[in-house]
Structure 1
């Protein structure tokens, strides 16, 4: 959240297991002061890497889903150097969360004031909540290149797709799909938002070119939507293109 937002958050529900994990890099000159934070992130299904130096963390940012920078451990004369170094760096699109002291707000560069900020120390699990929120908002849609590479898991909105296990999860809970439903969902995801006709889906999923008014595609899409909790009238995942076919919703 930005410095102007009210610092409120909802309780974080800890999953009983971790079907998938994401990676967080934490950079702190004194990481022992973040022991509880690292523990909460680990318990929340994050793989955590800790670096002492800002340059090391930024250099490894591309291997992470979120970069958390602890600016509270710098001495007063070091704060400005650290902030200016941060402004000059490029994280390659990896989102950044800054842990700051309240006293820093008055002299932070305006560009940094617009970043995701948490005043530290924070309430229990508050950083975990913001980490989950930031990653969700920055990964509304996984690029087709990620899916095509066979990387597992892939993410679309709040769906997690583990291609190795042919499994789909939402909020840590597995959604039980048939093989055909899974293949349909994956085919739509791989289309990268393009419309797939019923004929395309019949050919690719059922290996048939039957065009005689078969409603087999519509029946399976309806079942898939029901299991995803989706609605044709207001789709979150699968949108209907009337008279043509289907695509992933915006």
Structure 2
């Protein structure tokens, strides 16, 4: 069955154009023109990916992203916005988005990103094994994490990042390799995305800024998940 992409966009020209382009690319595309309709669509049938405009007339896009990810924690959400300030990008990523696309965007590039995130989601679904590293137990198939026996919920990209590091625990995984494996080889965005997600992952693991971490950063090289 073709992947289902939900577009939540109040601009009629952009929304209709995205729906047509997605359908022409072989996806099942649904377009909602405000946050309420988008949330109802996501509740009635779980999409494979959401394209979410942050400037909606009836709701804050960042808060809507958080609601969507509370309903479906592994749902890939790609934010569409005219706001290009770094603080806005970081806020969007902290809300759980897997990508952040600045308007005006090139349609071909956006479709490439959609394809990349759907491929990544498919790879996640096909992975099924459990990795234990120290007090971390990572169920790759069920996409679940336990820390010292207590289950901890992660955002989609946080889990993908931890899973990638766990597969080579004790070894350095380069920044380029992490971006290729977690964000796909066709990632177009800033490499700062990686650092933002590592910081978010550390917080989810209960680590405080300035304290010891299970994840060691090697400046300019990459990251290593430490083994006992």
TM superposition score normalised by structure 1: 0.41
TM superposition score normalised by structure 2: 0.45
Which has the larger Rg? 1
